[in-house]
Amino acid sequence: MRARTKARKRALDILFEAEARGEDPLRVLDTRKDSADAPPVQDYAVQLVEGVAAHRDRIDQLISEHAEGWTIDRMPAVDRGLLRIGVYELLWVDDVDDPVVITEAVELARQLSTDDSPRYVNGVLGQLSDIAERLRATL
């Protein structure tokens, strides 16, 4: 597994844990970074968690606007986390190409979520990728 793929998975684990426990993702991140019992937290995973936390309101707004058939609160938690990471990468990370962001999110959805999740994650991130340049200009 490639380094950024592992980092995305680790970031998803942290976001998922924070949501399940009703905790601040940054607090969970700090706990995981300091834990000798947990796997190491890669720098890119830190960037993803911090970025999602910093831009969560805008990220959730964009997901809500482009998610068909589901409100953000009704989505499977894994899908919600993957979409948040994906939107953050699409709009705020300059050194990862959009197709890579989408492919990685879809693959993690395939491994970790429902049978319908890969197609759904691909659709939402694909829509946002189509308008990403315009969205970036408004950030």
pLDDT tens digits along 14-67: 999 999 999 999 999 999 988 878 788 999 999 999 999 999 999 999 999 999
∠ CA 92-93-94 to the nearest 5 degrees?
110
Of 75, 77, 2, 91, which Cα lies nearest the Cα of 42?
Answer: 2
Judge whether residue 92 has pLDDT over 70: yes
CATH of residue 20: 1.10.940.10
The total number of structural domains in the chain stands at 1
- Average pLDDT estimate for 71-84: 95
Q: Token pair of 38, please?
A: 């947990």
Range of the domain at 85: 3-137
